[in-house]
């Protein structure tokens, strides 16, 4: 993921830096242009991660082979509360990817107004080539190596790509073995429901994405589309976030016309049953081959004529080289970092709004927060209560982002004047998209709390 993509979007060659940490920094630096009141030192503190742990550890894998693995845990910022963020198992995990994902968690928690900072973890491994026992040992050894770097009030992991409720059960069990006699359930979220997990957590990322989309549409974000009912939807990635999104959007009347996984994509203009696609993936390993659909490539899926495109796989899927091909009327980012800054500029110029990851997929961390609260209180709420609370939070956050965009775009001249007065630059400010609005809202919230607490000592 550190590659440089060469592309020819509009006759001109663009060299795009796809390092996710550089992308996260570029997004932050863009946002800070609209917040001239914050001093350079504070800005530097906000962009850099507080702590990066790199650990190398061996396990004896199936067949008796000793193999070494590299794991990362990055704590980006804790001004608003303990670190919070998932653990990813993937062969392409890098320190910079985890740094970027941790920073996005800080801004996401701030957009949602949940009292957490940002963190993320990852282990370089290919779960497709490992057994369940291997994965359990990797998890236990990784968590043991992290020791007290994680904890219910310091840094709280959760699931991400290729990790599940079962992985979180192993995380909890390992930590609990190391800290006997305490209520350790709040050390990790996304646990199985019968051991302290929250009802609704498994679906929360996708349900939050649906709520955000519905609310933004009801506020007139896309001309002539005021709900998802009847909307055609294409979903890239068919794991936790993507498959559940497809099912929840379909329940609300959307027509799922295309979905994909790492092996390819499927398409049917009249729509197909997302539950059948999931069953097909479970029995064959891929959505490809679902009867009644035709196989297409992931690139073709991204360029389909549809109302809503939901990227729900990995970073850097919509880039300078393919953003111009996107024909969706709205993009709702269930994945983290699927759209590069150059692609954002192209989509904004084309008038395609993007509900950004730090808002659209924040349902997951929001219900993780509810799980943490339930664990601390030794309570379990029913699913309706969780979903109702999630709806209110998503609507409020979506309102805040849409309102911030309107407010900033209506006061560019004042902000430019303030920048000049404070010697922060003379360059003209452009109108902002929804990602920048979410960033500006989040950075301001984190900066204000940092200043109110006082720079220590």
- What is the torsional sign of CA 81, 82, 88, 91? positive
Stretch touching ligand NAD by CB under 6 A, among 137-145, 153-161, 216-224, 250-258? 153-161
Q: Is 237 in the site for ligand NAD (CB under 6 A)?
A: yes
Strand duo 255-261 + 264-267: pairing: antiparallel
Stretch touching ligand NAD by CB under 6 A, among 237-245, 395-403, 412-420, 432-440? 237-245
Q: Is 261 in the site for ligand NAD (CB under 6 A)?
A: yes
- What is the torsional sign of CA 408, 319, 322, 284? negative
* Closest residue to ligand NAD in the complex (CB): 239
Strands (E), 127-254: 155-159, 232-236
Q: Is 314 in the site for ligand NAD (CB under 6 A)?
A: yes
Q: Is 137 in the site for ligand NAD (CB under 6 A)?
A: no
Strand duo 66-77 + 51-60: pairing: antiparallel
Residue in 259, 244, 252, 275 with CA at minimum distance from that of residue 364: 244
Rg of the chain taking only CA atoms, in angstroms: 21
Q: Is 239 in the site for ligand NAD (CB under 6 A)?
A: yes
- Interface positions, 289-308, toward ligand NAD (CB under 6 A): 298
Q: Is 361 in the site for ligand NAD (CB under 6 A)?
A: yes
* Backbone conformation region of residue 237, classed left if phi is above 0, alpha if psi is from -120 to 50, else beta: left
Judge whether 120 counts as a catalytic residue: yes
Please pick, from the candidates 241, 278, 332, 446, the single residue that binds ligand NAD as defined by CB under 6 A: 241
Q: Residue 339 gets which letter from DSSP?
A: B
3-class DSSP state of 293: coil
3-class DSSP state of 424: coil
Q: Is 331 in the site for ligand NAD (CB under 6 A)?
A: no
Q: Is 189 in the site for ligand NAD (CB under 6 A)?
A: no
Q: Is 259 in the site for ligand NAD (CB under 6 A)?
A: no
Q: Is 364 in the site for ligand NAD (CB under 6 A)?
A: yes
Strand duo 66-77 + 118-124: pairing: antiparallel
- Interface positions, 203-222, toward ligand NAD (CB under 6 A): 205
User: Residue 45 — φ and ψ, nearest 5°?
Assistant: -60, -40
Please pick, from the candidates 61, 162, 339, 366, the single residue that binds ligand NAD as defined by CB under 6 A: 162
Please pick, from the candidates 161, 304, 309, 330, the single residue that binds ligand NAD as defined by CB under 6 A: 161
Residue in 119, 160, 117, 125 with CA at minimum distance from that of residue 142: 125
User: Catalytic: which of 120, 191, 281, 393?
Assistant: 120
What are the start-end ranges of the H helices in 380-426?
Answer: 383-409, 412-421
What are the start-end ranges of the H helices in 113-182?
Answer: 132-146, 165-178
Q: Is 333 in the site for ligand NAD (CB under 6 A)?
A: no
Q: Is 184 in the site for ligand NAD (CB under 6 A)?
A: no
Q: Is 240 in the site for ligand NAD (CB under 6 A)?
A: yes
Stretch touching ligand NAD by CB under 6 A, among 15-23, 225-233, 311-319, 411-419? 311-319
Q: Is 102 in the site for ligand NAD (CB under 6 A)?
A: no
d(CA 442, CA 29): 13
Question: By C-beta, is 162 or 400 nearer to ligand NAD?
Answer: 162
Q: Which are the catalytic amino acids?
A: 120
Binding positions for ligand NAD, rule: CB under 6 A: 159-162, 205, 236-242, 260-262, 298, 312-314, 334-336, 361, 364
């Amino acid at each position: 993921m550190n590659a440089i993509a060469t592309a020819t979007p509009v006759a001109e060659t663009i060299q795009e830096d796809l390092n996710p940490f550089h992308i996260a920094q570029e997004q932050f630096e863009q946002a800070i242009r609209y917040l001239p009141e914050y001093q350079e030192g504070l800005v530097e503190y906000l962009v850099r991660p507080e702590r990066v742990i790199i650990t190398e550890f061996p396990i004896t894998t199936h067949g008796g082979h000793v193999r070494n693995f590299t794991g990362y845990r990055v704590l980006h910022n804790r001004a608003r509360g303990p670190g919070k963020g998932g653990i990813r198992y993937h062969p392409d995990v890098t320190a910079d990817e985890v740094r970027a994902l941790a920073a996005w968690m800080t801004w996401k928690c701030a957009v949602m107004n949940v009292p957490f900072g940002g963190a993320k973890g990852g282990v370089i491994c290919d779960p497709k080539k490992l057994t369940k026992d291997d994965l359990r040992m990797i998890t236990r050894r990784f968590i043991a190596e992290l020791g007290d770097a994680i904890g219910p009030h310091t840094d709280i992991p959760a699931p991400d790509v290729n990790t599940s409720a079962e992985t979180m059960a192993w995380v909890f069990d390992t930590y609990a073995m190391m800290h006997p006699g305490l209520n350790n359930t709040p050390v990790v979220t996304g646990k199985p429901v019968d051991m302290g997990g929250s009802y609704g957590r498994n679906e929360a990322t996708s349900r939050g994405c649906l709520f955000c989309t519905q609310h933004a549409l009801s506020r007139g974000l896309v001309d002539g589309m005021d709900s998802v009912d009847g909307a055609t939807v294409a979903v890239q990635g068919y794991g936790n976030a993507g498959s559940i999104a497809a099912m929840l959007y379909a329940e609300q009347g959307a027509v799922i016309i295309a979905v994909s996984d790492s092996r390819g994509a499927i398409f049917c203009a009249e729509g197909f049953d997302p539950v059948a696609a999931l069953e097909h993936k479970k029995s064959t390993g891929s959505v490809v081959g679902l009867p009644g659909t035709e196989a297409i490539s992931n690139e073709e899926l991204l360029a389909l004529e549809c109302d809503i495109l939901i990227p729900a796989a990995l970073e850097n899927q919509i880039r300078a080289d393919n953003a111009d091909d996107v024909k969706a009327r709205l993009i709702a980012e269930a994945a983290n970092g699927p759209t590069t800054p150059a692609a954002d500029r192209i989509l904004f110029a084309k008038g395609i709004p993007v509900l950004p990851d730090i808002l659209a997929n924040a349902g997951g961390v929001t219900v993780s927060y509810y799980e943490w609260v339930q664990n601390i209180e030794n309570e379990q709420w029913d699913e309706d209560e969780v979903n109702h609370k999630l709806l209110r939070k998503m609507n409020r956050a979506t309102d805040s982002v849409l309102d911030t965009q309107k407010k900033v775009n209506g006061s560019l001249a004042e902000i430019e004047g303030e920048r000049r007065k404070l010697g922060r630059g003379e360059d003209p400010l452009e109108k902002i998209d929804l990602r920048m609005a979410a960033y500006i809202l989040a950075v301001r919230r984190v900066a204000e709390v940092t200043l109110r607490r006082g720079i220590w000592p």
